[in-house]
Amino acid sequence: MNASPPTCLITGASGGVATALAIRLRAQGWRLALVGRDRARLAPAADDLAIMADVSTEAGAADALAAATAAFGAPPDAVVNCAGAVLIAPIGRTSERQYRDCLSANLDTAFFVARAYVASLQAARRGGALVFFSSVAAGVGVGNHPAIAAAKGGVEALTRSLAADAAALGLRVNAIAPGLLETPATAKFVSGDLARRAVSAQYPLGRHGAADDAAALAAFLVSADAGWISGQVIAVDGGFLGVRPAVKVS
């Protein structure tokens, strides 16, 4: 008898990284639950479950986990919180509404998804894997990023704290901190050859990221191959955080 396929719930599932991750996991035999606020923007495959929910709220996150658990017959083996939003603006030009929306999209989604997932795992008395998304802006000062740096800094702290709390449950919690990834949400920052070259020049490896760069790591972190990895924030940034290339002066 064949074992049941592993299951994963992906939030923010209409985004570029989530789409790339879904393609990878389907190819590996996973069954997916795709969560978004606008069902029309989701692109589920025939075997996927599509769930409309706002996971920036406690009720929305709980509803999403409940729907996935009911469909799968058990809590998802993994949850990847791809929900988020990009805000690049200096603090003096960031309105209160923009700031609160940024925290809601990036930090509140992580907190409430984690809360709902932990509750479902506790009820089932089993473990799992949870992956969040941070940003290089949480690890080093980057101009015009104060709101998103604050939100993603919270995500990184949540990752470590929750990994400690949930270890006895068997839940592994990790975060990915990417540099700029080219997705529909960031397309305006790399529109045109000059902008593309200027962004790519910031990264030691000479290019900005692709959605699949982060998706590949997320797929690994939810897999059994990462079974002894927890509480980590892993950069996917072409060396942005860890490398200072020699500067040639002519």
The pTM of this model reads 0.93
Q: pLDDT at position 1, please?
A: 43
- Is the pLDDT at 43 greater than 70? The verdict is yes
Q: pLDDT at position 2, please?
A: 56
The full DSSP string for the chain is -PPPPPEEEEESTTSHHHHHHHHHHHHTT-EEEEEES-GGG----TTPEEEE--TTSHHHHHHHHHHHHHHHTS--SEEEE---------GGG--HHHHHHHHIIIIIHHHHHHHHHHHHHHHHT--EEEEEE--GGGTS--TT-HHHHHHHHHHHHHHHHHHHHHGGGTEEEEEEEE--EESTTTGGGG-SHHHHHHHHTTSTTSS-EEHHHHHHHHHHHTSGGGTT--S-EEEESTTTTT--PPPP--
Superfamily of domain 7-236: NAD(P)-binding Rossmann-like Domain (3.40.50.720)
For the chain, which residues make up each domain, given as ranges? Answer: 7-236
How sure is the predictor about 114, in pLDDT bands with cuts at 50, 70 and 90? very high
Task: Tell me the per-residue pLDDT of 179-236, one tens digit each, with 9 for 90 and over.
Answer: 988 887 777 777 778 888 888 888 888 888 899 999 999 999 999 999 999 999 999 9
Task: Tell me the per-residue pLDDT of 149-173, one tens digit each, with 9 for 90 and over.
Answer: 999 999 999 999 999 999 999 999 9
